[in-house]
Copies of this chain bind each other. A is one copy, B any other.
């Protein structure tokens, strides 16, 4: 069985999206800037070769759908979307979306089965990430820290007052515009 990896891009001041949940392009330039060489290219290659399924919240899906972000993306793996109600039309493109309306455990169970020996990658948004942290469902975390101060937005780490925990740093990869930090979450 694979592992559950939280994988998100974050500004240095802790934000993963704009104030209304809108995507912050500056956080994802490193992915789209064709950094196929060098350290960031290796991080991207590893994501592509180890991801078995994605799991995300509805707002993240909507943002990607609206922006055509998921259309023809490089990951040919199922995308599980946590939602209260499935949308009437599916996203365009070849990506397979499965809408899960009966909660995070069910979504994780389905994604784990689909991912087989690869990883289930939790890719946002902050609410979904926080649910996984609070429930102790993560095995690993990868944060792509972009050295910008956004000053406002939605924080990845918020509403975790009851959580006090130490992760284990397992690796750092640095490129010009992004630092990739990896952690193991003790069981």
Contact call A163/B149, Cβ cutoff below 8 A: yes
In the complex, residue of chain B having the shortest beta-carbon distance to the beta carbon of A158: B13
Say whether, besides A12-B157, A155-B14, A149 and B164 are in contact (CB < 8 Å): yes
Contact A148 B165 (CB under 8 A): yes
Q: Which residue of B lies closest to A15 (CB)?
A: B157
Q: What is the copy number of this chain in the assembly?
A: 2
Of A43-51, A69-77, A94-102, A172-180, the stretch lying at the interface with chain B is: A172-180
A162-B172 contact, Cβ under 8 Å, with A12-B157, A13-B14, A181-B179: no
User: Contacting A172 at CB < 8 Å: which of B152, B168, B172?
Assistant: B172
From B151, B162, B166, B177, A148 is in contact (CB under 8 Å) with B166
Given the known interface contacts A14-B155, A133-B149, the answer about A169 and B174 at a Cβ–Cβ threshold of 8 Å is yes
Is A169 a contact partner of B161 (Cβ separation < 8 A)? no
A143, B11: Cα distance in complex, Å: 14
- CB of A162 within 8 A of CB of B151, answer yes
B160 pairs with A149, CB closer than 8 A: yes
A147: interface (CB < 8 Å): yes
Whether A157 contacts B163 in the complex (CB less than 8 A), given A169-B177, A176-B169, A179-B181, comes out as no
Q: Using a CB–CB distance below 8 Å, which chain A residues touch chain B?
A: 12-14, 26, 133, 143, 145, 147-152, 155-157, 160-169, 171-172, 174, 176-179, 181, 183
Top 9 closest pairs, chain A to chain B, by CB: A13-B157, A172-B174, A147-B167, A14-B14, A148-B166, A151-B160, A151-B163, A151-B161, A152-B161
